[in-house]
Amino acid sequence: MSNFDLSSYEQCDAPAREAVSRYLTNHGYKVEDEENYGVDLRVGQEVGHELEVSRRWEPGKEYPFGSIQIPRRKQKVLDAWWVCFFWVLNRDQSEGYVVSGEYLKLAPIVTRDCGERGVDEFFDVSLDHAMLVVLKRRMPWD
């Protein structure tokens, strides 16, 4: 359980933070980067945003899974923040699904084999309980 992938984090973390931060800023929020291993981004003192990148979700394609799975290790974020949102972004951070922490608390837990990383537990969120957000527009020639 809790199979954190450091190489994936190092590759995806900064671009994901920048994409969601830009999106929130463009919508009038003052965003603070919270590099403290608690939550990724903060809006004010009470709202946290936690980010994941699905490297299997290709840019310009539909989300390839029937549900959104947030690692159960993120429970610590749910416990620590009054209000939090969980984002799953596609590979180039042009789109993402956002899920309220309040809904995540109600989601069932599933176990999945993650290949070389072993077995891990996930909150299993129906796509009906997530909002698809376009973070940057893709041009037809992209």
Percent of the chain with pLDDT over 70: 85
CATH of 6-134, one of 1.20.1370.10, 3.40.1350.10, 3.40.50.360, 1.10.10.10: 3.40.1350.10
Domain ranges in the chain are 6-134
Q: Which amino acid is at 75?
A: Q
pLDDT, tens digit, for every residue of 26-80? 999 999 887 665 789 999 888 999 999 998 999 989 999 999 999 999 999 898 8
Please provide the average confidence, as pLDDT, over all residues in the chain: 87
pTM summary value: 0.85
